[in-house]
Structure 1
Amino acid sequence: MDDQDSRGIIAFLETVHPYDSLPQDELARVATSFGRRDFAEDEVIYRAGDPIAALFLVLQGSIEVLEPSGGLVSLLGPRNSFGERGLLRDGIAVTTARATQGAAVLLLPEAEFRRLIDSYPAFERFFQRGRATEAREADITSRKVGDLIARAPISVPPGTTIRAAAQLMRDKQISCLAVAEGERLRGIVTARDFTNKVLAEGLDPDLPVDRVMTRDPRSLSPDDLGSDILHTMLEHRIGHLPVVDDGRLVGMITQTDLTRYHAVSSAVLVRDAATAESVADLAAITARIPRLLQQLVGSSQAHEVVTRLITDIADTVTRRLLALAEAELGPAPVPFLWLACGSQGRQEQTGVSDQDNCLMIDDAATPSDMAYFARMARIVSDGLDACGYVYCPGDMMATNPQWCQPMRVWRDYFRRWVHAPDPMAQMLASVMFDLRPIGGVASLYSALQAEVLEMAAQNSIFVAHMIGNSLKHTPPLGLLRGFATIRSGEHKNTIDLKHNGVVPVVDLGRIYALIGELPAVNTRARLVAAGEAGVISTSGARDLIEAYDLIAETRLEHQARKVKAGLKPHNFIAPSDLSDFERSHLRDAFVVVRTMQSAVGQARGARS
């Protein structure tokens, strides 16, 4: 492989997790280990049962991964890996992989793959714990029925007229209604009942709906499995199943729900976003993210896997909007790089995300070129807002001319922030230290990132100010082993799992990365790297990672519950909604975070 090819692979790997967590010298070495193969449309890469000796990474095109029975496991695009399940099971493929269009694939030899697994916890965690995700997403049979309920049940009392029930079904765009007294299920009525029992028989539509309902219908409990849904529907030839918990109606499962479930996976959403033809198409795709969040959390995925998969969709949407912008404006006149910061930059997006981004542009840009990029920024930012990634309240977006600049201006920004760390500089530096390339020429940023990390780490005054800034968000700990809840307003008596939960840990991770000159941007990866580099003690890293995992997973579970209830997800949870066990462990996690904040605060005093 020549130097140009190697540089191209390095630039590509810098945008792929977990390779983006590797030190630069290691990344350069790994890049030389990859080989490349091109596959024609419909060409089989390997079949289930074949020996495989490499990890596959999609560079271009699309790959479908199939179960031995032929069922689709996932559809993969650029930056997705496959084949690891075989490597982790004695080198025998457990699925079949086939190119669905012309594809270019990078191959990492098995020995190198295993070395990375053994040497870097980020690789071990990503591949051994997280990469069966797509298969589990598609496996409905082992999921609990309660996790598959799409929304709260819609019901009417038995005395409701047939006409009113039909009108409600029309307005709600549903094919079935539960008939209940209070929360007690008495029957169900379907659109087919209205056709066969009302219209066909000439029945008066003002009669009560209980005249045509199916009484005491077959039902399942929330603890039954998805396989029970399939078996019951197939055996009894029914398309609607109430879900009842101790006589109380809690949901309704329909054949449409099952179809919708199989249509929502991160791979499918990424595939659809990558080929979307308009902003409206992209918005329809991102509207499915809350359901994906619910599915991922319900299948007990680790929080860093859930947020990574959700962020992958935002990345793909952003790249597609960049492509649509270039299709409208013409090719970019000079090299550029679109970067995300905030939760997208850290690959930590949940069901609640705004947009934080910027544009770095080659220094050769002329004033007319800058006008081109201003138009590009507006197209992409407006598109992101239409897709649910709302405008940043602080205007940290590429549409702000301050954040759409040539590289020489960006270098000057970082130098000024480091050497004159006033409060505004600290805030801006905190945001910009979470930058991650999304689309364009990634190498524009790599040299700047290394330069800035070194410059910042060597400035003790800047580090001390950054530490002070990071301590502004504190865990919600009250007296007598209680929580300090919000005292007034819309979210009274709740705790903010974002600003007082995950953000304090995010801030700590950023400080550790700064002190240790660690290139990782993801918070958990930063904590792992800080422990490995000796920035914090091994025990401190372990405790903080476990605390962060608990806080982040509590936040995701809370958001998933809101989605399941048909509500918009948010970050505010009432302690009373948690069990005694959950409250106790969550408080212990907050205590760990406060302890680590105190330790870094003492280090600040030593630096001042």
Structure 2
Amino acid sequence: MTLSAPLVQFLASVHPYDSLERPALDALAAQCVETAYSGGQTVFNTGEVVDSLFIVVSGEIEITDDAGVQLSLLGPRNSFGERALLREDAASRTATAISDATLIRMPSAVLFELMNASPKVARFFDRRRPARADRKDLTTLRVEELMTRNPLTCAPETAIREAAARMHDKRISSICIVDEAGMQGILTVRDMNGKVVAQNADTGAPVSTIMTASPLTLGPDALGTDVLHLMMERGIGHVPIVEGKALVGIVTQTDLTRVQALSSGVLVGRISQAKDAAAMARVTAEIPQLLAQLVGSGNRQDVITRLITDIADTVTRRLLALAEDSLGPAPVPYLWLACGSQGRQEQTGVSDQDNCLILSDDASEADIAYFNRLATFVSDGLDACGYFYCPGDMMATNPRWCQPLHVWRSYFDGWIAKPNPEAQMLASVMFDLRPIGGEHGLYEDLLTDTLAKASKNSIFTAHMISNSIKHMPPLGLLRGLATIRSGEHRNHLDLKHNGVLPIVDLGRIYALQGRLKPVNTRARLEAAQKAGLLSKSGGADLLDAYDLIATLRLEHQAKQIKAGHKPDNFLDPSELSDFERSHLRDAFVVVKTMQSSVSSGKGALG
């Protein structure tokens, strides 16, 4: 039967249909059907053709995978069935009413017509983020991406000498004058020279007597070119950024120069010429600003993390070269490898160091002593550059992880033969190894042999799968987001351990099962899809989910950086729009589905 007036009102309260004008909503309602299901009745089974989108009006719907594992429990205003419709595949899940339920059935043709007519509805059902230009110049960057937040300020009655002292202490060229009414003026070093020094003015006088009153300003939504043109036309070097009457930032000529010069290539070039760790640390201090700029410019998450990791790789290789300059040439061939996020080329704004050394089997005890000194030199330098010592001591400075090749072979053989909890943990870390500097041939055969042995050992693989699902996506009942319950990050989502790492773990399992050599998570998923370990639709779902979660993580960190805070991985979901929360939940459901498929031994081909 057609929808009743109360159900039209209900539909109007459900996102994204709440964005429709009333005539469009009435037309949509006229094409939908209200259907009742009794408790225990199946809506559709895995493998069936789904011809409608379902919206829960009342009751509860359980979604399970083909192993019978519950993926989510849906209540009023939740929808389901769109995966099969949009992928044009048979259903990969089963939907069952666990209590008497009323559903709205929206035929697929009606949904597709609505998506074509309404961009907002289309965006809602497309988990992929819209592509944005990868340009990183002043023509595309908004002022809020360029400006320095929390600029130095003082009151109009502040003495000139005190304002000058503050500017000197902060090593900046301007101070903004504000009071309760908002922005009143600006005082620059040029003002000090021209109005105080040159004219021998009284430095005890208030800054209001020499400030530039009512300076030219822009809003945070202006473009970088607006700032540049204003500076060029008016001959100024500082543009305060105001929102309403409030001062929110400032852009200087130095900021514009930095944006035009700041790129991963520039930083890599400066690091490669650095004379010591201190010089490199001055360069790596610019990484947070680079990350925020890359995010603001709309780069893909895997591009951003690759560029950030390239800088860490360059720092490592430069430190290795400096170590050999200091200690003398290496006595035998060696290979420095990274694991963890650097190994996977997935570094963000929060990274410690995870590394090891593989030495030639010709290494003597005296040679190992040399490499212990080399490891200390490099790890200390990495720490000075912001890549902090690993809390778990997974570093080449630990004698356990600075060994000849035959010892490394025995490590991997032992982990595979006896996969106890420690072996599972170590194998998870060491299967993400990537050569950084030295003789790469020391690792190639080891990788090939280890993948072959690991993939053949079903007990080891089963233990690795069990270990991998310890990181679970944060899903609660009724398809809600399960936040951290206590502590410093209460009511937040951990986008690392419960967001990205479950997918990292899945990628590692696929690599083991398929003997795939890529270490980067996205590359592993693509290789697994190509090798047939992941179906076309399953792989596309997981890649979309990974991109969305990883992108949200980077956007969260970029927002913290721009606010002057240290970046972390803890997101308050209340900061997300309804659109973002809905699709983040969908992404977590995809991850949980894949975990269930892998743990049941059925893969992800269904």
TM-score, normalised to structure 2's length?
0.75
Which letter does structure 1 place at the counterpart of 2:262?
V
Q: Give distance in 1, aligned partners of 2:173 and 2:278.
A: 27
Q: Give distance in 2, aligned partners of 1:579 and 1:204.
A: 54
* Residue in structure 1 matched with residue 138 of structure 2 by the alignment: 140
The SS at the match of 1:281 is helix
Which letter does structure 2 place at the counterpart of 1:447?
D
Which letter does structure 2 place at the counterpart of 1:489?
G
Match for 1:399 among 393, 397, 401? 397
Q: Aligned-pair distance for 1:394?
A: 0.5
* Residue in structure 2 matched with residue 576 of structure 1 by the alignment: 574
Report matched runs for 1:124-523 at 5 Å: 136-137=135-136, 139-182=137-180, 184-523=182-521
Q: Give distance in 1, aligned partners of 2:273 and 2:483.
A: 45
* Residue in structure 1 matched with residue 95 of structure 2 by the alignment: none
Which letter does structure 1 place at the counterpart of 2:523?
A
Alpha-carbon distance change, 585 to 159 in structure 1, aligned in 2, over 3 angstroms: farther
Alpha-carbon distance change, 448 to 287 in structure 1, aligned in 2, over 3 angstroms: same
The SS at the match of 1:391 is coil
Question: Is the Cα contact below 8 Å between 1:273 and 1:285 reproduced in 2?
Answer: yes
Question: Is the Cα contact below 8 Å between 2:319 and 2:381 reproduced in 1?
Answer: yes
Q: Give distance in 2, aligned partners of 1:454 and 1:275.
A: 41
TM-score, normalised to structure 1's length?
0.75
The SS at the match of 2:185 is strand
Structure 2 segments unaligned to the other structure (5+ residues) = 1-130
Alpha-carbon distance change, 319 to 176 in structure 1, aligned in 2, over 3 angstroms: same
Which letter does structure 1 place at the counterpart of 2:241?
V
Q: Aligned-pair distance for 1:252?
A: 0.2
Which letter does structure 2 place at the counterpart of 1:228?
D
The SS at the match of 2:588 is helix
Report matched runs for 1:54-69 at 5 Å: none
* Residue in structure 1 matched with residue 532 of structure 2 by the alignment: 534
* Residue in structure 2 matched with residue 561 of structure 1 by the alignment: 559
Q: Aligned-pair distance for 1:183?
A: 8.0
Q: Give distance in 1, aligned partners of 2:179 and 2:416.
A: 66
The SS at the match of 1:197 is helix
* Residue in structure 2 matched with residue 83 of structure 1 by the alignment: none
Alpha-carbon distance change, 301 to 366 in structure 1, aligned in 2, over 3 angstroms: same
Q: Give distance in 2, aligned partners of 1:532 and 1:150.
A: 45
Question: Is the Cα contact below 8 Å between 1:337 and 1:437 reproduced in 2?
Answer: yes
Q: Aligned-pair distance for 1:196?
A: 2.5
The SS at the match of 2:474 is coil
Which letter does structure 2 place at the counterpart of 1:455?
K
Alpha-carbon distance change, 481 to 156 in structure 1, aligned in 2, over 3 angstroms: farther
Q: Give distance in 1, aligned partners of 2:150 and 2:582.
A: 30
Q: Aligned-pair distance for 1:182?
A: 4.7
The SS at the match of 2:477 is coil
Q: Aligned-pair distance for 1:206?
A: 3.6
* Residue in structure 2 matched with residue 61 of structure 1 by the alignment: none
Moved more, 158-167 or 323-332: 158-167
Q: Give distance in 1, aligned partners of 2:515 and 2:236.
A: 60
Q: Give distance in 1, aligned partners of 2:478 and 2:169.
A: 51
Which letter does structure 1 place at the counterpart of 2:192?
F
Q: Aligned-pair distance for 1:588?
A: 1.8
The SS at the match of 2:350 is coil
Q: Aligned-pair distance for 1:202?
A: 4.2
The SS at the match of 1:438 is strand
Question: Is the Cα contact below 8 Å between 1:468 and 1:604 reproduced in 2?
Answer: no
Aligned residues with identical type, % of pairs? 63
Structure 1 segments unaligned to the other structure (5+ residues) = 1-128
Question: Is the Cα contact below 8 Å between 1:464 and 1:604 reproduced in 2?
Answer: no
Runs of 4+ in 1 over 4 A off after TM superposition: none
* Residue in structure 1 matched with residue 72 of structure 2 by the alignment: none
Which letter does structure 1 place at the counterpart of 2:559?
R
The SS at the match of 2:484 is coil
Which letter does structure 2 place at the counterpart of 1:255?
Q
**Can you list the C-alpha shifts for 1:387-432, whole angstroms capped at 9, x where unaligned?**
1111100000111111111111111110110110000000000000
Which letter does structure 1 place at the counterpart of 2:427?
A
Q: Aligned-pair distance for 1:605?
A: 11
Q: Aligned-pair distance for 1:586?
A: 1.6
Query: How many equivalent residue pairs?
Result: 474
* Residue in structure 1 matched with residue 80 of structure 2 by the alignment: none
Which letter does structure 1 place at the counterpart of 2:151?
P
Alpha-carbon distance change, 589 to 183 in structure 1, aligned in 2, over 3 angstroms: farther
Alpha-carbon distance change, 263 to 531 in structure 1, aligned in 2, over 3 angstroms: same
The SS at the match of 2:601 is helix
Which letter does structure 2 place at the counterpart of 1:333?
P
Q: Aligned-pair distance for 1:272?
A: 1.1
CA RMSD of aligned residues (A): 1.9
Q: Aligned-pair distance for 1:479?
A: 3.1
Q: Give distance in 2, aligned partners of 1:211 and 1:496.
A: 51
Question: Is the Cα contact below 8 Å between 2:597 and 2:603 reproduced in 1?
Answer: no
Moved more, 281-290 or 585-594: 585-594
* Residue in structure 2 matched with residue 597 of structure 1 by the alignment: 595
Moved more, 495-504 or 198-207: 198-207
Moved more, 339-348 or 583-592: 583-592
Question: Is the Cα contact below 8 Å between 1:454 and 1:517 reproduced in 2?
Answer: yes
Which letter does structure 1 place at the counterpart of 2:350?
V
Q: Aligned-pair distance for 1:510?
A: 0.5
* Residue in structure 2 matched with residue 100 of structure 1 by the alignment: none
Which letter does structure 2 place at the counterpart of 1:190?
T
Question: Is the Cα contact below 8 Å between 2:140 and 2:297 reproduced in 1?
Answer: no
Q: Aligned-pair distance for 1:573?
A: 1.4
Which letter does structure 2 place at the counterpart of 1:504?
P
Q: Aligned-pair distance for 1:604?
A: 7.9
Q: Aligned-pair distance for 1:335?
A: 1.0
The SS at the match of 1:321 is helix
The SS at the match of 1:603 is coil
The SS at the match of 2:148 is coil
Q: Aligned-pair distance for 1:173?
A: 1.6
Q: Give distance in 2, aligned partners of 1:205 and 1:478.
A: 63
Alpha-carbon distance change, 210 to 481 in structure 1, aligned in 2, over 3 angstroms: farther
The SS at the match of 2:558 is helix
Question: Is the Cα contact below 8 Å between 1:183 and 1:249 reproduced in 2?
Answer: no
Report matched runs for 1:35-46 at 5 Å: none
Alpha-carbon distance change, 482 to 152 in structure 1, aligned in 2, over 3 angstroms: farther
Q: Give distance in 2, aligned partners of 1:193 and 1:567.
A: 31
Q: Aligned-pair distance for 1:291?
A: 1.1
Alpha-carbon distance change, 395 to 182 in structure 1, aligned in 2, over 3 angstroms: farther
**Can you list the C-alpha shifts for 1:31-65, whole angstroms capped at 9, x where unaligned?**
xxxxxxxxxxxxxxxxxxxxxxxxxxxxxxxxxxx
Question: Is the Cα contact below 8 Å between 1:483 and 1:587 reproduced in 2?
Answer: yes
Alpha-carbon distance change, 402 to 604 in structure 1, aligned in 2, over 3 angstroms: farther
Q: Give distance in 2, aligned partners of 1:212 and 1:494.
A: 48
The SS at the match of 1:350 is coil
Q: Aligned-pair distance for 1:285?
A: 1.3
Q: Give distance in 1, aligned partners of 2:584 and 2:229.
A: 39
Which letter does structure 2 place at the counterpart of 1:311?
T
Q: Aligned-pair distance for 1:384?
A: 0.7
Q: Aligned-pair distance for 1:584?
A: 1.9
Question: Is the Cα contact below 8 Å between 1:152 and 1:564 reproduced in 2?
Answer: no
The SS at the match of 1:451 is helix
